[in-house]
Chain A
């Protein structure tokens, strides 16, 4: 079978009055994968999803699903399944009534609906709950009903708008895994909107990081984490230390000290990103290359994680993190050095 659910966005723009929510997005998404739109609130990720669903008309640009232009199609003929942020379960219907709704609308024969509803209830582990009212379900169960309902017609595209945001942290992590396994099992093209980088990293094949209506970076989750291309991506996905300095005659200097970085750079101001877990604490006060002298400001030992804040003369203290096993015994106020290995120094901005 030909892989279905390939999506292409061409020059998508959405303006609400003077506000440009989505500012010219080009994107080609492969079928069968789970893609996350990740960004802070107001970055345009939900508007993008709504344009793909047909719930919002693009001001400019086209949407193609399997090479077919669907820009002008209303949502009900788009062959999509969507889980909304509020889940949007129908309070007047039972669990089975909700899951069977899309099939009733399409005129599927009654006994087929019943069989398929049973099948879907099994798929989301809700055996025997078909007769319950929505108000009798827990948050996690409601989420599963919404998922089953959206998948009932085996749509080409499965859209998730912050699908787990109403749940508490533990349950959310559990359902992230469940949803991802379900998506892999069905091989359905899925687009998820989220502001939670952990969620995006747990579930996605591909992460699209958005900011202010534009795409900042696209890539596999770990790639985006390891090799952020902009300061925004570096600080939005996980935590990072941004080291600002100057390049003169091909040499990078941060707070006056020489640094080797992961690639050749041009002269001018430069920003490096180094993840806290890639930085190392040293008790020496005479640092070598790729290290900064400083003073310990604060030590945090969380048991599973050890963190040290060091004032190195930058705008903000440098954070060094590691497992407690590699803990270096330091005191508050103690002079130390922080080393930044060359391969961990990712250039995120230069002139």
Chain B
């Protein structure tokens, strides 16, 4: 039985450093952003300290509400696609021989070293008309002339899935390696084929981590602004693109700050709803 002890002076000393870092590099900038969202914007230039709700009021315009819903929609979709592919993939990866599965894992993780800019550009080329994959299809005689697959909704979705996929695997991998192989073997001795074992044992037991991976992919793609900007038309842009647009090109920092906060609260809300729903339905099935 471990006893919960009251934190001593030593414990506080150890905690002081990370707490200070958190305060300086997270809380302080966040507080500045909150303040900025109420500042007054000076047309064609900078902004000055003030307290006005102009930026927040602008959010209520139809176009931003519509963009918000679109952003949440496409990112939920990207998260779902990611987890649907990543879960079985990671499961079979962990069932492979150790050496080959580590090699594959390293290969996938190396994609994390690529910056979003490079990934975005690579996909614009691959999906483009002049040097894209359609050229291969033309060469193979499947198509008559090369086509451009971007900018489009599917191109944005594909790009978002590509950047979130390795993170999904990272979230699933530790839990799935720890899944007791005797559980699936037991299912098989009781008459379940490998396929049914996967659906009746692996997926239900993995449900909490499926949810965690899905939420991670959702939140991660929600923050991406380069991929939608590169691979989509303005109607495919997510709120993140507008935030960077307002901050860098329109120089409307208060509005960008308000949008960023709005997005943060919204994504926390979505995470909360999904978690609540997951908790409520667990054990019913």
Q: List residues of A whose CB falls within 8 A of some B CB.
A: 53-55, 74-78, 80-82, 84-86, 88, 90-93, 101-102, 104-106, 133, 149-150, 152-153, 159
Contact of B191 among A55, A85, A106 (CB under 8 A): A106
Q: For chain B, give the interface size range.
A: 20 to 34
| Interface pair B190/A84, CB less than 8 Å apart | no
Contact of B200 among A55, A91, A105, A149 (CB under 8 A): A105
CB within 8 Å of A: which of B178-220? 180, 182-183, 185-193, 196, 200-201, 204-205, 207
The 6 closest A-B pairs by CB, nearest first: A102-B190, A88-B186, A88-B182, A82-B189, A75-B188, A92-B204
A93 to B182 alpha-carbon distance, docked (Å)? 16
Q: Nearest chain-A residue to B206 (Cβ)? A: A92
Contact of B201 among A77, A84, A90, A152 (CB under 8 A): A90
A129 to B191 alpha-carbon distance, docked (Å)? 25
Q: Nearest chain-A residue to B183 (Cβ)? A: A88
CB within 8 Å of A: which of B76-124? none
A84 to B181 alpha-carbon distance, docked (Å)? 11
Q: Nearest chain-B residue to A82 (Cβ)? A: B189
Task: Assess A55 versus B180: contact at CB under 8 Å? Given A105-B191, A105-B196, A149-B190.
Answer: no
DSSP class of B's interface residues: helix, strand, loop or mixed?
helix
Provide a sorted-by-A list of 19 A–B residue pairs whose CB atoms are within 8 angstroms. A53-B185, A55-B189, A74-B188, A74-B193, A75-B185, A76-B190, A76-B193, A86-B180, A88-B182, A90-B183, A90-B187, A91-B205, A92-B204, A102-B191, A105-B187, A105-B191, A105-B196, A153-B190, A159-B189
| Interface pair B188/A101, CB less than 8 Å apart | no
4 additional contacts, CB 8 Å, given A84-B182, A104-B200? A75-B189, A88-B185, A105-B190, A150-B189
A77 to B191 alpha-carbon distance, docked (Å)? 6
CB distance from B207 to the nearest CB of A (A): 7
A84 to B190 alpha-carbon distance, docked (Å)? 12
Contact of A92 among B180, B191, B207 (CB under 8 A): B207
Q: Nearest chain-A residue to B190 (Cβ)? A: A102
Task: Assess A88 versus B180: contact at CB under 8 Å? Given A55-B185, A75-B185, A105-B200.
Answer: yes
Task: Assess A53 versus B205: contact at CB under 8 Å? Given A86-B180, A105-B196.
Answer: no
Task: Assess A101 versus B190: contact at CB under 8 Å? Given A86-B180, A88-B180, A91-B205.
Answer: yes
A238 to B80 alpha-carbon distance, docked (Å)? 60
Chain B residues positioned under 8 Å from A91 (CB to CB): 205
CB within 8 Å of A: which of B257-285? 283, 285
| Interface pair B200/A101, CB less than 8 Å apart | yes
Chain A residues positioned under 8 Å from B189 (CB to CB): 53-55, 75-76, 78, 80-82, 150, 159
CB distance from A245 to the nearest CB of B (A): 48
Chain B residues positioned under 8 Å from A101 (CB to CB): 187, 190, 200
A86 to B207 alpha-carbon distance, docked (Å)? 22
Chain B residues positioned under 8 Å from A54 (CB to CB): 188-189
A161 to B222 alpha-carbon distance, docked (Å)? 49
CB within 8 Å of A: which of B139-182? 180, 182
